Structure 1
């Protein structure tokens, strides 16, 4: 029977195989594209598979040279693909959080070549060394100085959960985007029971329930999708900059809510204090 083996081109994500019906040797790249190899030397697939019998040194040298040039071309294309996926000038990313989702995000980004600063706490981060900060918290959080990151040219993406309800805030890429504080205020304004929501966020709560696999996958998928849109400057980024995403584990449903930035109001408390003192 003819050999139907698919053989990896070592050091790359590509494979080759014989199309014995047409006599072609076909290359399939990691992107799923198929290419016919042009004038490949005899035995190239068997050589890659390590099943080549003894050959004259000249023939073996030709095959090795062809495979070397093939591997170099594939590597060049894969490096170009990697730049498309996540450009190098945006590959320094800070991931903050001690929970499972933060670990999932850090591991996933590392696997695609992103350079990670991983910290449990925000005060350990060096903002000058990153282009994006992703933070994941296990409860309502006051992010403090991290909300100033967009003013320093650092993109800012945050997620947190309240019990088994997850929130991924709009990504902030400039000071014109909604801050964490503004999102919290918008949530209060939109709630039919803002007093209860405020009280809930201010109370000390028991440890959150254990994460399910579904929660980890759904939330990590959303965070990674937004981060990739930022890295690629995808048109969807504009939507992500004004969308609060929620996942309710109890129902398995997601929701999206528009959230827009607004000019910072006058500090009414300071103004009132100043008036009283005068």
Structure 2
């Protein structure tokens, strides 16, 4: 029989006097009719012998002829029952074939990471831990001979200079995921991931933020660099890890096919609280005529 293992997030639960149940990744419990197969044997097979069978109420010795190899018809029936159960688990998505190995949600995805080390270092670790391949860059070259990445993430421990992300805003139109974050004083801003034409870009976020504040002239001047040097507080190890985790979660959602996002998040670096706001793309308008 082919070896199988439980899929991530799936657990087998032995209920005293009731037999075997499955706990799904969503927390739902489903009762299992093991038929002539001993529940303990099902647990052992799907956990490679490392499960905790508990009190299932089943007596594995009742299947002694199958275990000892005497009585081929009984053994064949028992093995067939177990194989049928494993197949049913597979059809329900509760097991993964052994030969598939463990693949993270970002497996097969190439992510280009740019920006400040305090953020890019933990982000690199998290993306790689989820199976993604990370390439580092200091700028977007856009050379034709380069293999385009699946996504680009740009992280700044400072305000984003005016115009820095204009070229990167064109990435979603080329099918490249585009994600970014920056810090303004004690606030880190995590902008929505854009993955297709019409998704929220950095230009959209800036226009929406300007429209939402009565101090739009002052905010525009701040972004343009007409201010004193930023003195922090800079990211700490904890705030950088939190920011990198949130960015990685966005990448995982995108890799799972959920596309772009319309969620603008703010992280207060002083107490690590996170809040979020919905932000919409700004429709294109015709230029003013004189």
TM value normalised by structure 1: 0.63
- Tell me how far 1:29 sits from its aligned partner: 4.5
**CA-CA distance at 1:182 after TM superposition:** 4.2
Q: Which has the higher helix share?
A: 1
The alignment yields a C-alpha RMSD, in angstroms, of 4.6
User: What is aligned with 2:133?
Assistant: 116
How far residue 166 of structure 1 moved from its aligned partner, in angstroms, is 1.2
Question: Any conservation in 2 of the 1:178–1:262 contact (CA below 8 Å)?
Answer: no
Change (3 A) 1:129 1:10: same
For the residue of structure 2 that corresponds to 1:147, the secondary structure is helix
Deviation at 1:131, TM superposition (A): 3.3
**Whole-Å Cα distance in 2 between the matches of residues 220 and 100 of structure 1?**
10
Tell me the equivalent position of 1:272.
none
Match of 2:281 in 1: 260
Aligned to 2:34: 38
Cα pair 1:12 1:75 within 8 Å, conserved:
no
Name the SS for the 1:167 alignment partner.
Answer: strand
- Show structure 1 runs of 5+ residues with no match: 1-8, 269-278
Aligned length: 248
Give the match's secondary structure for 1:123: coil
> 2-side partners of 1:17 and 1:59: how far apart?
31
Equivalences for residues 1-278 of structure 1 within 5 A: 10=5, 12-13=7-8, 14-22=10-18, 24-32=19-27, 33-42=29-38, 44=41, 45=43, 49=49, 55-57=67-69, 74=89, 77-78=93-94, 92-97=109-114, 98-113=116-131, 115-123=132-140, 128-141=147-160, 142-201=164-223, 202=225, 204-206=229-231, 209-211=234-236, 213=238, 216-217=241-242, 219-220=243-244, 222-234=246-258, 240-241=261-262, 243-250=263-270, 252=273, 254-256=275-277, 258-263=279-284
- TM-score when normalising by structure 2: 0.61
Structure-2 separation of matches of 1:195 and 1:244: 21
CA gap 1:15/1:168 in 2 versus in 1, 3 angstroms: closer
1:250 and 1:134, CA in 2 relative to 1: closer, same or farther beyond 3 A?
same
Distance change >3 Å, CA 67–CA 136, structure 1 → 2:
farther
